[in-house]
Structure 1
Amino acid sequence: MPENQEKEQPRRRQARGERRIAQLLEAAATVFTSSGYTAASTNAIAREAGVSPGTLYQFFPNKEAIAIELGDRLMHRMRETYGEALAPVDPETSLEEAVGAAVDRFIAFNCDHPVFFALMHGSDVPGRFTEDHEALHATLVSRIEGLLSSFLPDAPPADLTRTSHMCLGLYKAGLELILAHEGTERAAYVEELKSVLIRYLQPLVGDRLGRSPAATATS
């Protein structure tokens, strides 16, 4: 066999393997989202993927390994999302614009990948995800602090951290409602979440800038 053909065969096998892994992870995302982690099974994932359980076990030894691989990939994408969504803003950017842009990016990610919420917020997920979730939470709080510092440049660090925790808590509460609805009702809940965050932050921003909340709301 020519040398170039010998090199091509492993590449083809690798490509087929990567496609199969992607197929299995997509099926697992569907099963975890609809059934939850505990109720999900490797048989259900294989059935959703249209393959035999034996084929699944060629790539993953159990459902925990599938969940960890899926979670790692989603965590990477989430880090890309918050890197873009929570960057410090131009001083001329309004609070409404900053909040709206950040919420839209995060909601889009979670709506595109509903399994992320199921894995990261479920009480029955593998222990590995508890550590990942805590690390993600700490990083998000830090990035929110950076975003809010654009509006609250003189805020004491403790106040900024507390406000960031509140913003993230409000977002998570709203996200659960948003993911539970679809269509126009989902869009309405997204707008409600933005309104809650803006109404929470407006008095703080107004106070820090030496302006009244009313003046901030009408500026």
Structure 2
Amino acid sequence: MPDTPVPSVTPRKAAQQLRSQKKVQTILDTTLTMLTEGPADQITTNAIAARAKISIGSLYQFFPNKEAIFYELFKRWLFQTLNALDEAGQALEDGLSKEECIDAILEALAGHPEINSRGHWQLRRAMGSSRELAELEAQHLQQILQRIIGLHAKISSQPPAELGQELALLQNQVTIACLQVLAMTDESANRARILGWCKKMLLLAFDFPELDRK
């Protein structure tokens, strides 16, 4: 996954020693917890350092600002999400019904709190907080779209070339909406019912009978 160097959100240095790696992980975990609790614009580097029980100087050794922390979290989330989508694609064996395929996709994405939590959705919103972050997110999310296009090819008939990108965008947006709702209702007594509705919505998004007839 190639990165476009952007000085304003590039870590100052990579953590080489185990102690430094643990410190960076503590910064990232603390920031994600704080994102779970509230919006990104209320988070400051001073607050992150205080919550992580490290000095602000130690934080600045690795990250120049909070946007760089957001971007590092986003890269790690994207890496895990792409792996989950790849695993879902490998699980979609020939002969599975569309319903079984949708179950596999939801199990791969919604069942992992490390990629589908309240904090991660706040992180996605935070990626729009600066021009640099928004541009980097747009670049990287193309990789998710390509995975969605590949899943579409396994679930339903291949759409005409002129519709492929639009259908992938539609499927991606429906998938995002379902995952976001599931993340927000993780502890809800209604989760099973909501999961059922999400499956129906995804089945509609991935099922185009008029294409199957062509």
**Which bracket does the TM-score occupy, shorter chain normalised?**
0.7 to 0.9
Q: How does 1:184-203 map to 2 (within 5 A)?
A: 184-202=189-207
Change (3 A) 1:143 1:182: closer
Answer yes or no: is the 8 Å Cα contact 1:107–1:175 preserved in 2: yes
Q: Which residue of 1 aligns with 2:184?
A: 180
Query: Is the contact between residue 31 and residue 44 of structure 1 (CA under 8 Å) also seen in structure 2?
Result: no
The AA in structure 2 aligned to 1:173 is: A
Q: Of Structure 1 and Structure 2, which has the larger fraction of its residues in helix?
A: 1
Give the 3 Å change call, closer, same or farther, for CA 20–179 of structure 1 in structure 2. Answer: same
Q: Which residue of 2 aligns with 1:118?
A: 122
Which amino acid is the alignment partner of residue 95 of structure 1?
K
> Comparing both chains, which one has the higher relative contact order based on Cα–Cα distances under 8 Å and sequence gaps of 6 or more?
2
Equivalence for 1:4: none
1:24 is aligned, of 22, 27, 31, to 27
- Please report how far the alpha carbon of residue 116 of structure 1 lies from its aligned counterpart in structure 2 after TM superposition: 2.9
Once the two structures are aligned, what percentage of the paired residues are identical?
24
Relative distance call for 1:135 and 1:87 in structure 2 (3 A) is farther
User: Which structure's CA Rg is the greater one?
Assistant: 1
Residue 133 of structure 1: CA displacement?
2.5
**In the alignment, which residue of structure 1 is the partner of 2:9?**
none
In the alignment, the residues of structure 1 paired with residue 170 and residue 39 of structure 2 have an alpha-carbon distance, to the nearest angstrom, of 27
Query: Aligned letter for 2:52?
Result: A
Query: Shift in Å at residue 56 of structure 1?
Result: 2.4
Unaligned runs of 5+ in 1: 1-12, 212-219
Aligned residues: 196
Instruction: Tell me the distance in 1 between the aligned counterparts of 2:94 and 2:192.
Output: 28
Tell me the distance in 2 between the aligned counterparts of 1:207 and 1:53: 59
**Cα 1:140/1:61, change in 2 over 3 Å:** closer
Deviations 1:93-138 (A, max 9, x none): 11011111112212234x3243332222347533333123223432
Secondary structure of the corresponding residue to residue 159 of structure 2? coil
**Selected match of 1:150 from 144, 150, 154:** 154
User: Residues 201 and 56 of structure 1: is their aligned pair in 2 closer, same or farther, counting only changes over 3 Å?
Assistant: closer
Give the Å deviation of 1:197. Answer: 1.3
With the length of structure 1 as denominator, give the TM-score of the two structures.
0.76
Q: What pairs up with 1:51-130 in 2 under 5 angstroms?
A: 51-87=54-90, 89-109=92-112, 111-113=113-115, 114=117, 115-122=119-126, 124-130=128-134
RMSD: 2.6
Match of 2:137 in 1: 133
Structure 1 stretch displaced more, 125-134 or 14-23:
125-134
**Separation in structure 1 between the aligned mates of residue 96 and residue 213 of structure 2, nearest angstrom:** 18
Contact 1:37 1:124 in 2 (8 A): no
Does the C-alpha gap of structure 1 residues 68 and 159 become closer, same or farther in structure 2, counting only changes over 3 Å? Answer: closer
Q: Does the 8 Å contact 1:145/1:160 carry over to 2?
A: yes
Asked whether the equivalents of residues 91 and 104 of structure 2 are also in contact (C-alpha less than 8 Å), the reply is no
Unaligned runs of 5+ in 2: 1-15
On the 8 A contact 2:70/2:127 being kept in 1, the answer is no
TM-superposed CA distance for 1:76, in Å, is 1.9
